[in-house]
Structure 1
Amino acid sequence: MVKPDGRRQLALVLLCTAVFLDSMDLSLMGVALPAIGRDLSLPEGTLQWLVSGYAVTYGGFLLLGGRLADLLGRRRIFLLSLTVFAAASLVGGLLSDGWMLVITRVVKGLAAALTAPAALSLITTTFAEGSQRTRALGVYALAGATGYSGGLIASGLLTEVSWRLVFFLPVPIALLVLIVAPMALPKDGSPDRAIRRFDTVGAVAVTAGVLSLVYALTETNWPAGGAAMVLLAGFVLVERRQRFPLVPLRVFRSRTVSGANLAALAWACATIGWQFAAVLYLQQVHGYSALATGLGILPMGVAIMVTAKHVGRLIGRWGLGRTATVGMLVQAAGILLFLRAGTDADYAGVLLPALVVHGVGNGLSFPTLNIAAVSALSDDQQGLASGLITSSVQIGAGIGVAVPASLLAAAAPGIDGYRVAFLTAACFSLVGAALAHFGLRVRTRGTQAPAPA
């Protein structure tokens, strides 16, 4: 029989493993696309949707997923969605039709949109406020932040053997979590009676609005962007009149909630946008292979892990606002160091320092913003808090990729286009620093430093 403390730690490992899978799946496909296209003779439009299909559904259904976790049971939603995620991964590895592959990616995106907020809200309701919760949220944020880099490395290795292994990789990991999870995760209570008054109109409006917005950003489709604005404006009107709204608008009166989510959006614009441009720079300018690219950015992942391990103590000493602000400023400095990169930039002397500095800033800011976003709301709204912060990151990722992609397409061939993209990403990070500084000034409950190990 697992002891209570051991059970909580096991639950944390399982939940972090799930969010690592969700983040890793964002990057696993990108490196494998050329091999898939050659093997199945797929056009670029179909290949792009192997990435976009996952991102659009992931970003679009997060708020709904978070609310369903609150209403139907966090453990129940977590186990169900992870089962669907594993099944879609297995089926995808067996298929050879392009659009059927896209459908499996869409299904995985929907499953991830339910898994992520359920996992985060399980952590915040399993660990008591204070040092335990701060440490657990730091580990969770670290798992999400390193999943993307881990996906690049794994994809490079697996694609050398077969692109189908990229689809199969999550299956045994997810199955292991599903086998162990019933022993570690707390059981759900009775379903909330509020389910009888579920805000169906609000759910449809916000899900369709966010789906349209992420699609518009991913595809640079301005009509979809206009539709998103109309749907989201309609959602606000609906929520103001609802007695039991999907997203109570009063939560945004909290400066911490608003500040954390806006800063997280800017964080994603900066770090995902920079990573998009940096991967292209390493491959197209320096001629790195997919595997070499993944290994090249590995020091950044190590810096994130080392820094995030100590972020709880810094929050206890500096507070949420100062920690997040410093992190965003350091991240911006790391991105700006890439302006030194040229066509013949030395890795050890130019690229490595920039990667490490960026990783330190990333490790400070991302966990802090996650802690701020969920610590400001009560336990019965943790699914909502989780959905909001993850939606902010996903929407920011869409903006972060769309902007440098447009800049690179408009720029003349050569290093100048990449420098403009890096400078833009740094500006996003500076905006995030300002949002964190002014929005997270008040110390939020449950953020004192962990006790020394």
Structure 2
Amino acid sequence: MESPVSCDNNEDLEKKEEIDVGDDTGADLDLSRTKSSVWLSETLTLPREILFVGVICVAQLTAQIGLGQTLSILHIIGDSFHITNPGDLTWLIAGYSLTVGTFILFSGRLGDLFGYKRMLLIGYLWFALWSLVAGCAVYSNHVLFVFARVLQGIGPAITLPNGIAVLGATYPPGMRKNLAFSFFGACAPSGGILGSVFAGIFALAWWPWTFWSFAIALVITAVVGSFVVPDIPQKHIEGMTLREKLRDLDIPGALVGIMSLVLINFAWNQAPIVGWDKAYVYVLLIIGILLVPVFFYIEVKIAPAPLIPLEALNGDVGFVLGCIACGWATFGIWIFYTWQLLLVLREKPPLLASAMLCPVAITGLCAALSTGYMLTKVGPAGTMTAALTFFTVGIILLATTPVGQIYWAQTFVGTILTPFGMDMSFPAACVILSNAVPRRHQGIAASLVNTVVNYSISLGLGFAGTVQSQVDNGGQTTADVLKGYRSAEYMGIGLAGLGLCLSILFVARGCWKSRRAKAKDGTNTGV
């Protein structure tokens, strides 16, 4: 089934989805299938629907809180562990991002086989457990903290794809579905700010409370979710034995894919710290790259149930994932170096720096509301192009900001515009992929988007860090530090520009396909 890219395809898409709803076996339409074809959103009362969407949106919110809560108090945590090596300090953040980006795809398959709601709740509880351990690491050492952060990242890797899968399977195409995905995306900038603000507040007393309070909130979310999140019918797993489910998990493909992503990510983020002259860095990078074709060989030739369904991979999906990769890699560079501008170059305290970034939460909400409208009126392709435009403008503003300039000039404007890139691109991609695959593959569709989003953030920072380390002369002076930051930000401009070009081609391709289809219909009807 084609994903929607043209301007005139919303009605056709709804008709296609009505056909796809229900059992995928092709059996004759009967009473049970008629019942299963009723969208769950039609059975929810308004209060329960609000709570339900809220619990799902918390998956996005908490994923970004997990990043922001360490980013703003990084040096405070490092001082408590007596960390002096910059490489060790970097891994307090990188360990979390690494597992969020690499385990999402496999987590989506777990939801497809064991239930989206079940995996969503397990993800919240797992997230809570290792947040608790991260706080308790204050009684041990930074090795335990990094270990806890690595395992903590598996929590959002589970909740994100399964939360999106629940939304995708609950709502039919239309305004309500677009709004639900838009609010989900809007929680990304809000979560990052909430994490940094509350981390700064708790750090005034004792930083471990940042993680302990977070664990409590996650447990409460899981309890509420067990009551308000509906059970999603998944007929394709009814009657399957555990052995059959393990077979369909595609464990060999998952192991090779995860190993490849981990090695590539580790190499690119470790290289700026220890240098590319270390043999193990480029050896691991080469091994990671070589494992990519091995993964696709397993998926195409060996796996009985490929981790990535081939029907989900078409030209439209490729354009979307390419745009998402460039846009969110740019965002990773923008958010990291905006913090460095405020904390290092302008020497602002964590709470004041967090306050300066607070506008992203407000504009995130505005972007969510406007994105739901844009998805309905101009389609996902036009929305994606607008998103990449905002990403590009945001990184250009950062790269040209003078250090001594007042906050209300370029920095403030950047915090207003950049969230529109996040909150337009993410729901647009989710809607396209959700509508491009059958309902039984909603978890995989959600996983592809989230994998690209989170992995691109981390990999983009690895690229930027490599550029910075090659030009900043060791960061011996403020001028050298600024030169390194600027070079990394110019790297972000290049990525954003590439994504913008891809999105424009995406729109042109969709319009060409639409006109070609209309011309063909006119020929067939003798017009």
Judge same fold: TM > 0.5, yes or no. Answer: yes
Structure 2 counterpart of 1:227: 287
Q: Distance in 1 between matches of 2:435 and 2:188?
A: 18
For the Cα contact (< 8 Å) 1:76–1:188, is it kept in 2? no
Structure 2 counterpart of 1:247: 308
For the Cα contact (< 8 Å) 1:11–1:181, is it kept in 2? yes
Structure 1 counterpart of 2:256: 205
Q: Deviations over 1:159-213 (max 9, x none)?
A: 2221112211321211221121121112255745351532221121112112222
Paired residue type of 1:327:
A
Q: 79, 89, 109: which is aligned to 2:121?
A: 79
Structure 2 counterpart of 1:420: 487
For the Cα contact (< 8 Å) 1:274–1:421, is it kept in 2? no
CA gap 1:251/1:358 in 2 versus in 1, 3 angstroms: same
Q: Deviations over 1:328-348 (max 9, x none)?
A: 113212221234421311211
Q: Distance in 2 between matches of 1:237 and 1:379?
A: 26
Q: Deviations over 1:10-52 (max 9, x none)?
A: 1110111122111210121122232222223245344333222
Gaps of 5+ in 2: 1-42, 272-280, 473-479, 514-527
Q: 330, 337, 341: which is aligned to 2:397?
A: 337
Q: Distance in 2 between matches of 1:339 and 1:53?
A: 27
Q: Deviations over 1:376-408 (max 9, x none)?
A: 222111110111111101221122211222233
Q: Distance in 1 between matches of 2:343 and 2:229?
A: 42
Q: Per the alignment, in what secondary structure is the counterpart of residue 59 of structure 1? A: helix
Query: For 1:260-339, what aligned pairs fall within 5 Å after superposition?
Result: 260-339=320-399
Structure 2 counterpart of 1:400: 460
Structure 2 counterpart of 1:449: none
CA gap 1:302/1:357 in 2 versus in 1, 3 angstroms: same
For the Cα contact (< 8 Å) 1:8–1:127, is it kept in 2? no
Q: Per the alignment, in what secondary structure is the counterpart of residue 348 of structure 1? A: coil
Q: Distance in 1 between matches of 2:90 and 2:344?
A: 19
Paired residue type of 2:359:
P
TM-score by length of 1: 0.91
Q: Distance in 1 between matches of 2:468 and 2:344?
A: 12
Structure 2 counterpart of 1:165: 209
Q: Deviations over 1:59-100 (max 9, x none)?
A: 111111011110111111111121111111122212322222
Paired residue type of 1:195:
K
Q: Within the alignment, does 1:374 sit opposite 2:434 as a pair?
A: yes
Structure 1 counterpart of 2:34: none
TM-score by length of 2: 0.79
For the Cα contact (< 8 Å) 2:178–2:376, is it kept in 1? no
For the Cα contact (< 8 Å) 2:327–2:421, is it kept in 1? no
For the Cα contact (< 8 Å) 1:339–1:419, is it kept in 2? yes
For the Cα contact (< 8 Å) 1:78–1:119, is it kept in 2? yes
Quote the RMSD (CA, aligned, Å). 2.2
Q: Distance in 1 between matches of 2:144 and 2:411?
A: 40
Aligned residues: 442
Q: Within the alignment, does 1:362 sit opposite 2:398 as a pair?
A: no
Q: 98, 102, 107: which is aligned to 1:56?
A: 98
